[in-house]
Amino acid sequence: MNFMTTLSGSMLENFYPAGWDMERIDACCEKGAQREAFWHPDFQPVACDGIAEFDTKMGHEIALQIKKARDRGEKLAMIIPVGPMGMYRWAVYFLREWQVKCDHVTTFNMDEWADGEGNTLSADNPASFEYCMKEAFFTPLGELTVPENQRNFATKANLPTYPEKIAALKAQGAKLVLIFGIGRMCHIAFWEPHFAAEFDSDEEWKKQNYRLGAKLHPLTIEQNAITSFKSRTTLVPCRANTVGPGLLLQADIIIGGADGALGRGMGWQGMSFLMTLHYGPSRWVTSSYIPTLPGKLFYLKELEGPLVPEVN
């Protein structure tokens, strides 16, 4: 008896995205971090033994890309997340140690909590991603920080301007760096897998630049309840504004993180991480496109498995 034989007729039968192949997902969970033929030659998973190593290496990689662009005399566009968060402390540390001014950087927050019309939390709300970014990154950088007029947040008015702004920066020679985490439902930003049902092909799906008031999957809400709201589901918004694959897949360099281990043998991200590596490009698994892009995906080593039952 297994998941597939008990799914029919259960409360989960219509819970997962229609395009998810459960047997294929189960096979992904057996593969560890071995390379696949469809990966970009310059895509590299980087194992970390613990969260301290993870935060430091990811923060260093962010700071290094900012420094390299400045050394080349180039502008840099960055799509940035709120989470993983420990990386920003180290990015600030390295940038301040190297005295790298960030006035060549333009940032685009990838998402923000919203209502059904795309109205977002106020910038002074501690739960807002704008507030979190200022506290974790922009303010600690001090005099080296990204200028305020070069910080973009995913508000109802500003998110639709992202495609034009990113295109203009690329036309000036800027590279686009995508920094991201992987959601429980394999989303990148809040681009959820059930959105795939709205499109007839992967190519049509790839053209979508953003969405206002996106409906979040229940497991995404529960993931955030656990990771950001101390389990209090009632505080987690059910919708968000988010960038889409039309912008995500433009990235010249990616810096990803998977740190979803909870200790005592528990974790929420192992399957999502291994699906990202092995499922193969599909609009039904947003993160499945990540290995087709050049860059690094840092992860806690325990997420590569084996993903088997454990008595705690």
What's the CATH number where 139 sits?
Answer: 3.40.50.1360
* Maximum pairwise Cα distance, the chain: 61
Report yes or no on 295 lying in a domain.
Answer: yes
pLDDT at residue 311, as a whole number: 64
Report yes or no on 10 lying in a domain.
Answer: no
Cβ atoms within 10 A of the Cβ of 304, count?
Answer: 20
pLDDT at residue 201, as a whole number: 96
Range 285-289, long-range pairs (CB < 8 A, 24+ positions) = 285/20, 285/186, 285/193, 286/186, 286/187, 286/188, 286/191, 286/192, 286/193, 286/245, 287/182, 287/183, 287/186, 287/187, 287/188, 288/186, 289/245, 289/248, 289/249
Report yes or no on 221 lying in a domain.
Answer: yes
Report yes or no on 217 lying in a domain.
Answer: yes
pLDDT at residue 11, as a whole number: 80
Report yes or no on 14 lying in a domain.
Answer: no
The DSSP code for 32 is T
Report yes or no on 134 lying in a domain.
Answer: yes
Report yes or no on 46 lying in a domain.
Answer: yes
209 contacts: CB under 8 Å, gap ≥ 6:
162, 163, 243, 244, 246, 247
Report yes or no on 204 lying in a domain.
Answer: yes
Domain range holding 94?
41-304
Domain count, the chain: 1
**pLDDT tens, position by position, for the chain (312 residues)?**
677 677 788 888 789 999 999 999 999 999 999 999 999 999 999 999 999 999 999 999 999 999 999 999 999 999 999 988 999 999 999 999 999 999 999 999 999 999 999 999 999 999 899 999 999 999 999 999 999 999 999 999 999 999 999 999 999 999 999 999 999 999 999 999 999 999 999 999 999 999 999 999 999 999 999 998 899 999 999 999 999 999 999 999 999 999 999 888 888 899 999 999 999 999 999 999 999 999 999 999 999 988 988 765
